[in-house]
Amino acid sequence: MPLRPYLSIIYNTSNLDISGFIRSFVLDISITQRLTDAATSVALKIRDDEMKFQNDPMFNGIGDSFDVELFYENHTPDRRLSPGRFYLDRVELSSPPDVINLQAINRPLNLALRTKKTRTFSNLSLTGIVSAIATEHGLSISGIRENITFTNWEQKDKSDLEFLMDLAKDFDHVFRFDDQGRIYFQSWELLDNATNTWDFDKDDILQSPSLRFTQSNNGTYQSFQAEYGTNGETAILLDDFVFSTDTLKGSIVYEDFEQARLGARALWRRSNSLSRLVEFAIEGDGRVKLGNNFSLTGYGVFDGNYQIQELRNSLSNNGWVTEIKGRKLYEESPS
């Protein structure tokens, strides 16, 4: 018997479970997560011909928060997806027919996070910098960071949100808000080296949307150089799995070799890491997580180990579907 998915929504403005009320009006819901996006997003489309939602005094609009879950009732193992609390940041009404589109993110609409400032972090580790910013905003942190330290690193006319995004980008880390509202700051290299969590083959893949592999050499480089110190020394990373013979040199001058090593990997990450991609869908499963590594078999030369870069869980008349975008994992060569 086909599994029957359920949607749960707790509207926090009044701490009210509106699941039973809203289920019959929801046209579709999608929850999208990307390793390169700081926030998880939710898009909810509601049919409101009778104006029940529009006229409900509980609904205030921008800034309202709600918790979402997708699950199969009484199913073992529990595949429940609990992505956390979301905050409305966009509301649309189209008519006729009356349809409300709600878009929300799992990051509070915090003005302090977006306020630009200039300051210098001195004699702190990467973890120390992230922790200091989190503490300022009453947040905690998760993830495992590389053990690097900074003599002086400047936050120049950037909001804390922008600064954390740049810090992650320049030092090959993932920055996002996790499902508990914490700042997740994680070494990308440690994710790459983690063991596989899943093994998928053709029997696991849904026919719609169709599976697709993509391999591209466009915009790739063979050599990546990051400068450090005052004497023009460089950390170099080589990628012999691409056809390009070009070299990319970063514009940042790092303080020491360990910083520059991560800087070279960060250059590779932005240019080459997505040169081999796979996209496919499976039956809805909340246990499949962003950043998980997995093996894929049954496709010949496209078989191999991949890492989940993007997840989209959607619920509609077609049921609950988990769409996966993964990049192929392979070893680069530091020199």
**Co-location of 299 and 228 in the same domain:** yes
Same domain flag for 207 and 329: yes
- Domain check: are 211 and 134 in the same one? no
pLDDT of residue 55: 81
Q: Are residues 289 and 259 in the same domain?
A: yes
Which of 191, 223, 244 marks a domain boundary? 191
pLDDT at position 251:
96
Question: Quick one: 99 and 139 in the same domain?
Answer: no
Domain hosting 131: range is 112-191
Same domain, 76 and 137: no
- 39-95: pLDDT as tens digits: 999 999 988 888 877 887 667 778 888 899 999 987 778 899 999 999 998 999 999
Q: Identify the domain boundary among 191, 206, 232.
A: 191
Residues 202 and 315 in one domain: yes
Same-domain check for residues 214 and 140: no
3-class SS letters over the chain: CCCCEEEEEEECCCCEECHHHHHHHEEEEEEEEECCCCCCEEEEEEECCCCCCCCCCCCCCCCCEEEEEEEECCCCCCCCEEEEEEEEEEEEEECCCCEEEEEEECCCCCCHHHCCEEEEEEEEEHHHHHHHHHHHCCCCEECCCCCCEEEEEEEEEECHHHHHHHHHHHCCEEEEECCCCCEEEEEHHHHHCCCCCEEECHHHCCCCCCCEEEECCCCCCCEEEEEECCCCEEEEEECCCCCCCCEEEEEEEECCHHHHHHHHHHHHHHHCCCCEEEEEEEECCCCCCCCCEEEECCCHHHCEEEEEEEEEEEEECCEEEEEEEEEECCCCEEC
- Of 56, 90, 105, the position where a domain reaches its end is 105
Same domain, 139 and 203: no
One domain for residues 29 and 68: yes
* CATH number reported for the structural domain that contains residue 123 in this entry: 3.55.50.10
Q: State whether 324 and 208 are in the same domain.
A: yes
Per-residue pLDDT of the chain (335 residues; tens, 9 = 90+): 567 888 888 887 666 667 666 677 888 999 999 999 989 999 999 888 888 778 876 677 788 888 999 999 877 788 999 999 999 989 999 999 999 899 999 987 788 999 999 999 999 999 999 999 999 999 999 999 999 999 999 999 999 999 999 999 999 999 999 999 999 999 999 999 999 999 999 999 999 889 999 999 888 999 999 999 999 999 999 998 888 999 999 999 999 999 999 999 999 999 999 999 999 999 999 999 999 999 999 999 999 999 999 999 999 888 899 999 999 998 665 55
303 and 214 both lie in a single domain: yes
The reported pTM is: 0.92
Number of domains in the chain: 3
